[in-house]
Amino acid sequence: MAKDSAMRNNIWKWLVLLLLAAVSVHVTNPPKDKVRLGLDLKGGTSFTLGVDEEKLRENILAENPALTNDLAAVDRKIEETLRDCDENIVSVIRRRVDAMGTNEPVIQSLPKKHQLIVQLPGADEKLRKEAKARLQSMAYLEFRLTHPKEEHRVSQILDRDVAPEGYMRKGAGYARLPNYAEIAQTPGFAARLASFQTTDDRYRFMLEDNKDGTYIPHFVSRNVELDGSNLESAAWERDALKGGFQVKFRLDSEGGKKFSALTRNYKAGGPKNKTARGRSLAIILDDTLISAPIIQSEIGAEGVITGRFTIDEAKQLASDLNAGALPAPLKILAETSVAPTVGDDAIRSGIWAASIGFLLVAIFMFIYYWRTGLVADIALFLDIALLPTALVIVANILGVFAQDPSMGGGASLTLPVLTMPGIAGLVLTLGMAVDANVLIFERIREEFKNGVVAGKAIANGYGRAFTAILDSNLTTIITGVILFVVGTGPVRGFAITLTAGVVISMFTAVVVTRLVFDHAVDPERVKPFRMLQVFKNPNYDFMRVGRKTLVVSAAIIAVSLAVFFIRLAVNPASVLAVDLTGGTSIVYDLSQDEAKQPPVGDIRSTLDPFDNATVIQYQRGVGNTTLLVKTGESAESAKGREVENRDVGAHVTKLLQEKFPEAEIVPASVEEVGSMVGADLKKSGTKAVLFSLVAILVYVGFRFKFGFGLGGIVALAHDALISLGLFSLCGRQVSLIVVTALLTIIGYSINDTVVVFDRIRERLSRDKRADFATVCNKALNECLGRTVITSLTTFFAVLALFCFGDGSIYDFALTMLIGVVAGTYSSMFIATPVMFWWYKAKRPDFEEEDGKKNA
């Protein structure tokens, strides 16, 4: 009868379970259409773009020399240009990307003003280079007249043998000096070049690239006769007369009238040009003079742009003109390229790590808890089966805090993009998923010891464990929310996976396993469930050794952080990854024959002329060796601007491949981060850590008392600092994914501490006469088994990730391994002793506080 009653009462729980399962099937079937992979898993290129305000300022000054000493006016023009420009920028970039024919590109604005991200899945090296050029091209087309006496003025300056800054005289024009790239980056260069040898402010000096190493001078009107806003279409074609390629364009009706009047007026003998020679019409694209043909006759709505183009250049120009002009110049703030093979390897590694992590946890739970452990294993299986539903729900909820289309949300049933950190989050949740089950089982064990029957033991076990389960998991969820709000891209994918795993594991542990017990266990059973017990009646005096353990921990932290900060001061690149410092990081696949792998010293001597602070490391994993090369140079640095196409990664690769051909060096991934993005990521990482600590302090202080919150925060600071210090001592570089691991440690390690604090609060209400030290010691001893077991299951999962992960996932797993051990230690030897000393060994009065709340 009891079981029939339980069945009737639990019908709604079964219905909820079936509904969640149905949603999981729907959102993942068929998998190849529903599971979207991030660039780090399927390969491709990602660009972070931002408005180049420095270049915009230079362009404004070059066009308006009268504003040189009026910086406020320049700022107003910049503000006017950038006002409400973001939607226009995204629209133009989307048309350009669509014209490149990439599959499922992602283009979205970033929270920071005038920045956007462009992801090109599956992009090869050729497409990457094309995209890099096209995304930064403004495609701002202008038609301007040259000076009416241009030939005479040009002859004058050539006869005087004077050259503009950065150039030297060559033939009928100029050639760039060897250090031109460096000179061109000096402040005010564009304005100085525009005013070279000009005596009339209505005109500016410009140079036309003759494509043979020489540049032909022109004096061009500052007045724009016609611009690209009247352009209707553009197409590339072969120049039948001169050979080569040109771009044919068509103007709209208004533009056709303007162009017709312009060419009619300034052709030879035209109404505004009585000479026998037509005026030259300068065709300017992105403030660069493409060509300056002589107006031979009246031209209507159609014309051609000639500029000695190659076929690729002509195709690109036509495509960019059709896409429209950008309202402001853009620059690449960060770039990441991943070879498809790297993604395949990551997926295989992730599957192996998840499978082995699942098996290790499942086998351990079965061995330790026997048949009860099978119930936990059922819940563990359901965690994976129901995770898609949880991902969709969590993505929609977190989407309220920060919009990110790639991460789902918006009341849709779309799964978030799966990334490498997302896989790491999945594996981690497998280890954390049984925490609640262990807490419940240990409570049930205690109830059996008190002589109650199975039905009562199960009910009491779930009831008394629920508060600790809720408190401990909410702290992890708080960390997940902060990670999502502060982080970007892959970090958000990790935050969603971690949070979804915690949410669904709470449901299966509290609801599903209870259903199994209700229908599979005789409520009148007297015999306790069969379970192993590592610690039988432990009676350790934790409070007595608290001071010693705190001193030992402080010493380890002081030494490891001292080494970290010394290395940071000497060479920041040796301890911080490029996503925190700026620069370029390249991971190379190479010959696995060690005899063919060049010594680090030889690699350094090859790269020293480019950057003598380059970090070079061989990263040896299980059956695979990769080479990491990290330089502080990027496209925006002085040396980075001098290399071909400002492509630092390609330049470093070329140097290594030419010097060590036998090593078979091939770039697997390239990450380039500008200093501004690096500073932003460093700031956001610091904020995330501080926000997490404050949020947890507030929550634990609210749920318990301030002293408990203080003890928890000191323990978390201990875990984070000792993990950071020991990780750095291993010779690894701190990156954003390591900061993510530190935040995860903060959210995870507080779990044990909250469980201990919950037991202390419970004992304080039961043991009215015991002194505070005795209460604390009893609570710690009662939680000892649970603490060790939950740490072991998480350790097993992270160990699998450590063994099969590489690159950033390896760093994440290594940090987590240290953090899991540190967190287990701190919940026993740091958090409770600190809380104990705060109250000066006197019992805090929860009863009085509860009485005030109930009054």
Of 559-568, 678-687, 702-711, 846-855, where does the model show the most confidence?
A: 559-568
Mean pLDDT over residues 711-725, rounded? Answer: 90
User: Among 11-15, 64-68, 562-566, 825-829, where is mean pLDDT lowest?
Assistant: 64-68
pLDDT band per the 50, 70, 90 thresholds, residue 631: confident
pLDDT (tens digit per residue) in 404-423: 666 666 667 778 878 778 88
| pLDDT for the residue 9 | 66
Question: Comparing C-alpha atoms, which of 336, 333, 337 is closest to residue 636?
Answer: 333
What token pair was written down for 609? 């002329």
pLDDT (tens digit per residue) in 112-154: 678 888 888 877 777 888 888 778 776 788 889 999 888 888 8
Could you give the CA distance from residue 473 to residue 424 in angstroms, rounded to a whole number?
Answer: 18
C-alpha radius of gyration, the chain, whole number: 34
pLDDT band per the 50, 70, 90 thresholds, residue 37: confident
Of 77-86, 585-594, 819-828, where does the model show the most confidence?
A: 819-828
Instruction: Check pLDDT > 80 for residue 838.
Output: yes
10 Å CB burial of residue 29 (0-12, 13-18, 19+) is exposed
Could you give the CA distance from residue 165 to residue 114 in angstroms, rounded to a whole number?
Answer: 32
Pairing label, strands 167-170, 173-176: antiparallel
| pLDDT for the residue 773 | 92
| pLDDT for the residue 850 | 45
Instruction: Check pLDDT > 90 for residue 217.
Output: yes
Instruction: Check pLDDT > 50 for residue 702.
Output: yes
pLDDT band per the 50, 70, 90 thresholds, residue 778: very high
Instruction: Check pLDDT > 80 for residue 663.
Output: yes
Instruction: Check pLDDT > 80 for residue 175.
Output: yes
Instruction: Check pLDDT > 90 for residue 364.
Output: yes
What single-letter amino acid sits at 606? T
pLDDT (tens digit per residue) in 227-255: 888 888 888 888 777 777 888 888 888 88
Residues contacting residue 9 through CB under 8 Å, at least 6 positions apart: none
pLDDT band per the 50, 70, 90 thresholds, residue 504: very high
| pLDDT for the residue 209 | 86
More confident residue, 317 or 453: 453
| pLDDT for the residue 637 | 77
Helices (H), 137-269: 150-159, 180-184, 189-194, 253-266
More confident residue, 219 or 38: 219
Instruction: Check pLDDT > 50 for residue 853.
Output: no
Q: What percent of the chain stands above pLDDT 90?
A: 17
Helices (H), 645-771: 648-659, 675-703, 706-729, 736-766
More confident residue, 4 or 290: 290
| pLDDT for the residue 7 | 57
Q: Please report the beta strands in 210-351, taking only residues with DSSP state E, as ranges in sequence order.
A: 215-221, 226-227, 231-238, 245-251, 281-285, 288-291, 302-309, 330-338
**266 and 258 Cβ atoms separated by less than 8 Å:** no
Could you give the CA distance from residue 308 to residue 305 in angstroms, rounded to a whole number?
Answer: 10
pLDDT (tens digit per residue) in 74-127: 888 888 888 878 888 888 888 778 777 677 778 887 766 788 888 888 777 778
| pLDDT for the residue 822 | 93
Residues contacting residue 220 through CB under 8 Å, at least 6 positions apart: 144, 145, 146, 147, 203, 204, 205, 206, 282, 284, 289, 292
Instruction: Check pLDDT > 50 for residue 849.
Output: no
pTM: 0.74
Could you give the CA distance from residue 37 to residue 594 in angstroms, rounded to a whole number?
Answer: 34
Instruction: Check pLDDT > 70 for residue 33.
Output: no
Query: Within a 10 A sphere around the Cβ of 656, how many other Cβ atoms?
Result: 22
User: Among 158-172, 264-278, 314-328, 699-713, where is mean pLDDT lowest?
Assistant: 314-328
| pLDDT for the residue 32 | 65
Of 181-185, 746-750, 825-829, where does the model show the most confidence?
A: 825-829
**Mean of pLDDT over the chain:** 84
| pLDDT for the residue 847 | 54
Q: What 3-state DSSP class applies to 660?
A: coil
| pLDDT for the residue 450 | 87
| pLDDT for the residue 851 | 41
Query: Within a 10 A sphere around the Cβ of 608, how many other Cβ atoms?
Result: 11
Instruction: Check pLDDT > 60 for residue 303.
Output: yes
Q: What percent of the chain stands above pLDDT 70?
A: 93
What single-letter amino acid sits at 341? T
pLDDT (tens digit per residue) in 730-762: 888 888 888 888 888 887 888 888 888 988 988
pLDDT band per the 50, 70, 90 thresholds, residue 622: low
Residues contacting residue 673 through CB under 8 Å, at least 6 positions apart: 333, 334, 335, 578, 579, 581, 582, 583, 584, 634, 681
| pLDDT for the residue 855 | 33
Helices (H), 450-541: 454-486, 490-507, 513-520
Of 341-345, 351-355, 418-422, 553-557, where does the model show the most confidence?
A: 553-557
